Amino acid sequence: MLLNTEATKEMLDKMEPDGLIIATGSNPVIPDVKGAENARQILDVLPQLNKLSGKTIIIGAGSIGAEAALELAEDGKKVVLIGRNKLLVPRENWLYRIPLRQHMDKCPTLTRHLETKVLEIRKGSVVVEHADGSVEEIFGDIEDEHDSSNYVAKRLEIGAVVGATVVK
């Protein structure tokens, strides 16, 4: 395994590998949504995921967002997972998708909104449009939204994650 190494044609010709796997990692998605600055990227929140409390809104029902939502829900925390596609983890195969959905179905503190478009991310809430055209504001659990000195800490307590991003 080589890390932080440029794979040149010459290097690969010299190695003569039977196969080559390029793992470029995950790049955060910053949604083109009004108020995106009110959310935190999941990659920034993952190391402190166990510190989140209250209701967390996760925007992005791909693998990272879905697994973070499931982990929080299994810990008894309230979670709202929002995805724009009809399918949960749409880029994964059914061998992964179906058991994940079945596992989520057993978590009473996890709510999923698929085929749902995020219209705006506010401090403490997200405005969404469902597939039927209805618009809803989904709230997190901010105790004192006027206490700006403690807002960053409160965002870690009740988050929302977009793309996956966390919105508190």
Q: How are strands ordered across the β-sheet holding 125-129?
A: 117-122, 125-129, 135-139
Stronger pLDDT, 93 or 152, i.e. the higher one: 93
Give pTM, 2 decimals: 0.72
The DSSP element (H or E) to which 81 belongs, if any, is strand 79-82
Q: Is the pLDDT of residue 28 over 60?
A: yes
pLDDT on residue 70:
93
Angle at 42 between CA 96 and CA 150, to 5 degrees: 145
pLDDT on residue 1:
64
Position 12 confidence tier, pLDDT thresholds 50, 70, 90: confident
Chain center to CA of 107: 17
Prior bond to 164 cis, omega within 30?
Answer: yes
Average pLDDT of 62-74? 90
Closest to 87 in 3D by CA, of 77, 97, 78, 79? 97
pLDDT on residue 98:
93
Rounded to the nearest 10 degrees, how much is the dihedral formed by the CA atoms of 145, 151, 155, 161? 90
**pLDDT tens-digit map of 114-166:** 999 999 988 888 899 999 999 999 988 754 444 333 333 333 333 444 334 44
Position 47 confidence tier, pLDDT thresholds 50, 70, 90: confident
**pLDDT tens-digit map of 30-44:** 778 898 888 888 777
Q: Dump strand ranges (E) for 97-154.
A: 110-113, 117-122, 125-129, 135-139
Average pLDDT of 62-80? 90
